[in-house]
Amino acid sequence: MSTGDRAFRWLTAVAAWAVLITLLAAALSMAWGGRLAFRTFGWKFITSPNWDAVGHNFGAAIPIYGTLVSSALAMLVAIPTSLGIAIFLSEVAPRWLRGPVGMAIELLAAIPSIIYGMWGLFVFAPFMANHVEPWLNDKLGPLPGIGPLFSGPPIGIGMLTAGIVLGIMTIPFISSVMRDVFQAVPPALRESAFALGATPWEVTRKVTLPYTSSAVLGAIFLGLGRALGETMAVTFVLGNAHDFSGSLLMPGNSIAAAIANEFTEADSPIYLSSLIALGFLLFVVTFIVLAIAKFMLMRIERSFG
């Protein structure tokens, strides 16, 4: 092996290991910073809904719940929308339209999250309070089963609004990846399906989606990771209330929003340690989600041989 090849091998290895070492260092530093909270509250820190800064009694159940629910709502909004955008740009739209629309979608990803948050607070939240939430309250609130999810005062700020704003924010990431992988399908596969008499919908459903299923799933989990860690936009529209409610219309809290709002107000070691411990729990939740994504991708790859 030549000197250049050895140097190239070592440089790439150092770059790869640097990422892993940085990841482990970040996790260990947060675990070390939150050790006082974990030692003081134990497992109750994860399961307790209490968050009393005055009484120094902290629990992460409500921020964890808010993070998971708002991210799930975001995926319910983003996945079908992103899939429709990607299919339209790769299969349906004329060539002269694909470039401008695709560029506009990608530009949405460049908008700072605080801009989304301000738009959500001053424009979208009043719209939800005046038009959407009263309708949900009247039409879905009385229904058995799902009624409690849509009951509550129409204040515009809450879990549902935060989930929709998060979904809008993740659409550019998911749709851009989906569009690229759809366009990477070999033209011979599409042409063969069309030659056999398949319609554009049948080509998409039976050729494009099965061929790109692993990449599509990866794009979805990329967007989910973005939603789990989002801070500023959620802080503006979630309500930042440490109260548990089964209604999606009520204010809640998330891990990232709690840290952003209260870090400068931490006036005691246990308060500061609890916020750092929240950061470690967010790291763990994100790691678990990405591990599940990797496991599902491996299963899909094995199923296709």
Q: What is the pLDDT of residues 234-288, one digit of tens each?
A: 999 998 888 888 889 999 899 999 998 888 888 889 999 999 999 999 999 888 8
Give burial (CB, 10 Å; 0-12/13-18/19+) of 305: exposed
State if pTM tops 0.85: yes
Residue 231: pLDDT band with limits 50, 70, 90: confident
List the one residue out of 289, 288, 287, 291 whose CA is nearest residue 24. Answer: 287
Q: What is the DSSP letter of 252?
A: B
Max CA pair span of the chain: 75
Q: What is the DSSP letter of 57?
A: E
- The pLDDT score that the predictor gives to residue 123 is 94
Query: All domains of the chain, ordered by start, with CATH?
Result: 34-303 (1.10.3720.10)
Q: Where does 184-212 have alpha helices with state H?
A: 187-195, 200-203, 209-211
Residue 304: pLDDT band with limits 50, 70, 90: low
Residue with tokens 């998971």: 68
| Whole-number Å distance between alpha carbons of 85 and 49 | 39
Token pair recorded at residue 269: 């070691």
pLDDT in tens, 127-177: 999 999 999 988 888 888 888 888 888 898 999 999 999 999 999 989 988
